Amino acid sequence: KAGVTQTPRYLIKTRGQQVTLSCSPISGHRSVSWYQQTPGQGLQFLFEYFSETQRNKGNFPGRFSGRQFSNSRSEMNVSTLELGDSALYLCASSLGPSGSTDTGELFFGEGSRLTVL
């Protein structure tokens, strides 16, 4: 079956703009989590969604937001982009949420590489 699909793969924006990234989980997976990866900070947790509800949010400003749809697809939005938002944004999907006996394996997409100029 198809893996986790993230779009777009690459994008370039300028400071002050906003961006929306999309993540389609593996079929049947209801949990989606998002991460920001930068060379200096490694993988930083952004949000986790399960059944359209945000379960947790990482330590990021309010400019970072997300949502999950009834088909488990998820989007994240970053408004008023800053240079420091340049990063690889990864999403991962699993059957169940973190802390559940049904979590199962956690699979990642290829990521969306955002460059802010």
Partner 1 sequence: SQELEQSPQSLIVQEGKNLTINCTSSKTLYGLYWYKQKYGEGLIFLMMLQKGGEEKSHEKITAKLDEKKQQSSLHITASQPSHAGIYLCGADTGNQFYFGTGTSLTVIP
Supply the minimum distance, in Å, between the C-beta of residue 37 and partner 1.
Answer: 9
Count Cα atoms within 13 angstroms, Cβ side, for 5.
Answer: 8
| Cα distance between residue 12 and residue 113, in whole Å | 8
Which residue number, 79 or 103, has a Cβ lying nearer to partner 1?
103
Which residue number, 14 or 100, has a Cβ lying nearer to partner 1?
100
Binding mask 25-54 for partner 1 (x = CB under 8 A): --------x-x------xxxx--x------
Site for partner 1 contains 60 (CB under 8 A): no
DSSP letter, residue 62: T
Q: Where are the beta strands (DSSP E) in 29-99?
A: 31-38, 42-50, 53-57, 64-68, 74-78, 87-94
Q: How many residues bind partner 1, per CB under 8 A?
A: 27
Supply the minimum distance, in Å, between the C-beta of residue 16 and partner 1.
Answer: 26
